[in-house]
Amino acid sequence: MAGITSTVGFNAVFAGITKTLSSHSLIYRRFQALWQKDSEVDDALDISAIRSATVRLIDGQQNMLGLVSKDEAVRMAEDAELDLVILSPDADPPVVKMMDYSKYRYEQQKRKKDQQKKTTRMDLKELKMGYNIDQHDYSVRLRAAQKFLQEGDKVKVIVSMKGRENEFRNIAIELLRRFQTEIGELATEESKNFRDRNLFIIMVPNKEMIRKPQEPISRKKKKQAESEVSAAEITAEPLQIESGV
């Protein structure tokens, strides 16, 4: 009987420990994740790796405080509630800086993502029109071209000449030149072909122009433009598909 009581008591204690550990498992996982994350960047925070007794210290406001002892630098960072980060471990003496390292890492990662967005593959958007296109449809394509260019894509404007329409080649060429003129500084010419039956001009976005803030488009105007573009049957093909042109 005593053996049964002991076993029951042990099981109760074990269950209590298990429950306690389970309730703290989330905290443990978070701590573990933070530890793993910090372990990836601990080289910059490992002040013990500095062999020199003195360091060149920069404070949180970018002020150079000059030479101080390593221990003094650690104390000053703790007092300011900042991390002490090694900037130049091989300098003599090493250069360290007081900063919020988590914030610094976040901003670095954000800049990296922004850079990756800027280097995204450029697409080639096609806009087709006839040599005798009316003003409304012409305006639809012009607005679409401006939109594509502002989004960082190339634009290929095509005028197809079928059969006897080839007699009006000069009108088609003037139409393409007018289109390019009205696009203006938003794009630069990459290539053109006015010899074949499919006349075209390819324009590349002018990076300096598209960096400038554009006037915000109202929701109503944006929806209207999208409807017009859809109705005009504007096609968009990836650049790699058009590479053989």
- Residue 87 sits in the same domain as residue 173: no
Q: What is the DSSP string of 215-237?
A: PPPPHHHHHHHHHHHHHTT--EE
CA distance 111 to 38: 20
Domain end marker among 57, 85, 115 = 115
Specify the DSSP element, H or E, that contains 125: strand 124-129
Q: Please report, for the domain that includes residue 193, its CATH number.
A: 3.30.110.10
Residue 221, judged by CB atoms within 10 A of its CB (0-12, 13-18, 19+), counts as exposed
Residue 46 DSSP symbol: -
- Residue 236 sits in the same domain as residue 169: yes
Q: For residue 211, is pLDDT > 80?
A: no
Q: For residue 245, is pLDDT > 80?
A: no
- Report if residue 199 sits inside a domain: yes
- Among 9-13, 44-48, 142-146, 149-153, the least confident range: 9-13
- Report if residue 14 sits inside a domain: no
**pLDDT (average), residues 217-233:** 51
**pLDDT (average), residues 140-164:** 92
Q: For residue 33, is pLDDT > 80?
A: no
- Report if residue 109 sits inside a domain: yes
Q: Tally the domains of the chain.
A: 2
CB atoms within 10 A of CB 202: 19
Q: Please report, for the domain that includes residue 73, its CATH number.
A: 3.10.20.80
- Report if residue 226 sits inside a domain: yes
Domain end marker among 67, 90, 115 = 115
Domain end marker among 82, 115, 148 = 115
- Residue 176 sits in the same domain as residue 103: no
- Residue 134 sits in the same domain as residue 221: yes
Residue 204, judged by CB atoms within 10 A of its CB (0-12, 13-18, 19+), counts as middle
3 state DSSP class of 181: helix
pLDDT band at residue 112 under the 50/70/90 scheme: confident
- Report if residue 158 sits inside a domain: yes
- Report if residue 169 sits inside a domain: yes
- Residue 141 sits in the same domain as residue 232: yes
User: Percentage of the chain with pLDDT > 70?
Assistant: 66
Which tops the pLDDT comparison, 238 or 20?
20
- Report if residue 97 sits inside a domain: yes
Which tokens in the block code for residue 124? 């080639």
- Report if residue 195 sits inside a domain: yes
pLDDT band at residue 212 under the 50/70/90 scheme: low
- The residue range of the domain holding 74 is 42-115
Which tops the pLDDT comparison, 75 or 228?
75
Q: For residue 1, is pLDDT > 70?
A: no
- Among 30-44, 76-90, 102-116, 132-146, the least confident range: 30-44
pLDDT in tens, 67-109: 999 999 999 999 999 999 999 888 889 999 999 998 988 998 8
Predicted TM-score (pTM) of the model is: 0.41
CA distance 109 to 94: 25
Predicted local confidence at residue 118, as pLDDT? 62
- Residue 132 sits in the same domain as residue 234: yes
- Residue 70 sits in the same domain as residue 171: no
